[in-house]
Amino acid sequence: MAEKSNFLACIASKTIHVVKGLKKEMYLKRFYLLTIAMLLFVSACSTKNTPVTTNAGPTVESLSAGQSTPTTALVILTNTSEPLPSLTLAPTSTYTPEPSPTVAPVMTSTPEATIPICTNRATLVRHLSFSDNSSVTNNSYFNKAWRIQNSGTCTWTTSYAFVFASGDQLSAPAETHLQHDVLPGETIDIQISMKSPDVANAYSGNWMLCDPNGVLFGTGETADQPIAINILVKKFVEKNKFPAPECG
């Protein structure tokens, strides 16, 4: 019985404690509600007395004088943000291409005249055979020879030749290469086999020297005079060894 009484007393104590807690919570809720109502009332009064002006967006219409003013007014203010300042873009810089560097004209040098390393020139020393206007029988072979001096500054090598230039060739070869080198100041004897024509007459042929590049040269100050041969061809007449006696 005593245990039952203690159990009931414990339940009653807890019930009282819960009731007190509930009362206290109700009091707090009432306090909170009253505080919110007062804040709303103060806000409504300030909104009524001070007109709300905004730059843009909706405005709160003022209550007309004839309308009744409610004791508590819930005013919902729209969050009208001020317009953002317009963003002014800096002008983009215009790309100006840099002028291309001016290339200085290349100065072309005038090629200098090629100065020959040496000069070719010949001098006729003398005729070794058949001097000018020598008589030769027709249809006969003979050897014409000259002694020629190297009066230039180039060495005549075996690549040089003695060539026919103009006139009567007299059945001679068109060119004859030198047999040995001829230094400047030295002489060389050039001999060519020829044949006299059948017809009796005066004949003349012009000959010159030729360097390895095919350039002709001869005698004289400008080395342009040919080395000539001049002969007189006569008809061969056979004489009787035993002439017939004259009739008396």
Q: Pick from 5-14, 31-40, 160-169 the range whose average pLDDT is largest.
A: 160-169
The three-class DSSP label of residue 161 is: strand
Average pLDDT over residues 89-99: 60
Domain residue limits, the chain: 1-51, 122-234
Q: What percent of the chain has pLDDT over 90?
A: 48
CA dist., res. 121 & res. 151, Å (int)? 5
Average pLDDT over residues 203-211: 97
Average pLDDT over residues 44-63: 49
pLDDT for position 37: 76
pLDDT for position 245: 52
- In this predicted structure, the answer to whether residue 187 has a pLDDT above a threshold of 90 is yes
Q: Calculate the average pLDDT of the chain.
A: 76
122-234, CATH topology level: Immunoglobulin-like (2.60.40)
Global pTM reads 0.51
pLDDT for position 109: 59
Average pLDDT over residues 215-229: 96
Give CA separation, 38 vs 30, 34, 52, 69, 137, in Å. 12, 6, 21, 16, 167
Average pLDDT over residues 139-159: 97
Nearby residues of 155 by Cβ (< 8 Å), 6 or more positions away: 118, 181, 182, 183, 184
Place of tokens 């006729």: 124
- In this predicted structure, the answer to whether residue 240 has a pLDDT above a threshold of 60 is no
- In this predicted structure, the answer to whether residue 32 has a pLDDT above a threshold of 60 is yes
Place of tokens 């007189």: 232
Nearby residues of 199 by Cβ (< 8 Å), 6 or more positions away: 138, 233
